[in-house]
Amino acid sequence: MVSILTGLSTAAILFIVSAGLSLVFGTMRIINMAHGTFYMIGAYLVTLAFAGLTMRATGFVIALILAAVLVSVLGIVIEMFVLRRLYQSEHLFQLLATWGLMLVLEEVTLIVWGPNNVTGSIPGGLSGSFAIGGQSFPFYNAFLIGAALVIAALLWLLLKFTPLGRIIRAAVQDTELIYTLGVNVKRLYTQVFALGTFLAALGGALVAPSTSLGPGMDAQIVMEAFIVSVIGGLGSIWGTALGALVIGLFQSLGNLIAPEVAALAPYLVMILVLIIRPTGIFGKAEA
């Protein structure tokens, strides 16, 4: 039971981060290699820049929002002054541009906060554990699961009931369609990229108290987020949720049953899905 809950808490972070990546690709058709670096910056901001706020749960929530908002502002600047000039370019150039951004932002992060690994602390009110099935499970991991459920509900409401959500859904189905509807495409792309970076930073900020932060964490999470998005279907929030759930549970149960091959499980699942359904489980072929 605890292994399943651990898998759910892993899936929670994967969902939050992957949802941003999937929305950006689904709407803008940008493969954002820098997405993991926004996650890393969010984690560093909460652990080091806003450390004074994170002693208590309420201050920690404020720090989460501050970190995510600041990173989303950075995302807006990058979208307006870098990516906007590449929308008509081939995907390869866009990929190389975001890869370059990843390297630059990673280097800046290391200059600002140093190359040594740092570890955050779980805020008061969220520390400790509770017993289930004769084993203990951290309160903080339960908090992560709850946070992911709240964010999933908010994303569903945004996409289902708001004008912005309807345009995003239309863009995911057919990018060319939004050009015929009189949509301000520049503003739409800025909004979506800001939302994507907000979610990436929020995922990093949420995971920061429970893990060690250091160089390479951005590359690892962006790879996992791509796997989740490919499995679920790029551009699909529910597909992203399912992909995160599959990978989270495979990682947790794999470490319990066959730890020597558990690291291969996400890649094998992705290959299997691509063979059976190349667009992902909930993905649709581009019109």
pLDDT single digits (tens) 125-163: 888 888 887 888 889 999 999 999 999 999 999 988 998
Burial of 57 (0-12, 13-18, 19+ CB in 10 A): middle
- Hey, what amino acid is at 263? A
Distance from C-alpha of 208 to C-alpha of 45, rounded to nearest angstrom:
9
Q: Is 281 among the domain residues?
A: no
Residue ranges making up the domain that contains 170: 1-276
Q: What is the predicted pLDDT for the residue at 212?
A: 84
On whether the CB atoms of residues 270 and 230 are closer than 8 A, the answer is: yes
Can you give the pLDDT of all 287 residues of the chain as single tens digits?
777 888 898 899 999 999 999 889 888 888 888 999 999 999 999 887 777 777 788 888 998 999 999 999 999 999 999 888 888 778 788 889 999 999 999 899 888 888 888 887 888 888 888 888 788 888 999 999 999 999 999 999 998 899 888 888 888 777 777 777 778 888 999 999 999 999 999 999 999 988 888 888 888 898 989 899 888 887 788 889 998 998 888 888 877 777 777 778 888 888 988 898 888 888 766 65
Distance from C-alpha of 193 to C-alpha of 53, rounded to nearest angstrom:
27
Q: What is the predicted pLDDT for the residue at 286?
A: 60
Q: Is 284 among the domain residues?
A: no
CB within 8 A of 53, min separation 6: which ones? 59, 60, 62, 63, 66
User: Domain with 270 in it: what CATH number?
Assistant: 1.10.3470
Q: Is 175 among the domain residues?
A: yes
pLDDT single digits (tens) 15-50: 999 999 988 988 888 888 899 999 999 999 988 777
275 CB neighbour count, 10 Å cutoff: 8
Q: Is 282 among the domain residues?
A: no
HSE at residue 78, side-chain half, CA atoms within 13 A, is 26
Question: Taking every pair of C-alpha atoms in the chain, what is the biggest distance, in angstroms?
Answer: 59
Distance from C-alpha of 74 to C-alpha of 81, rounded to nearest angstrom:
11
Distance from C-alpha of 17 to C-alpha of 240, rounded to nearest angstrom:
10
Looking at the DSSP bridge assignments, the partners of residue 82 are: none
Q: Is 237 among the domain residues?
A: yes
Q: How many domains does the chain have?
A: 1
Q: Is 283 among the domain residues?
A: no
Q: Is 251 among the domain residues?
A: yes
Q: Is 23 among the domain residues?
A: yes
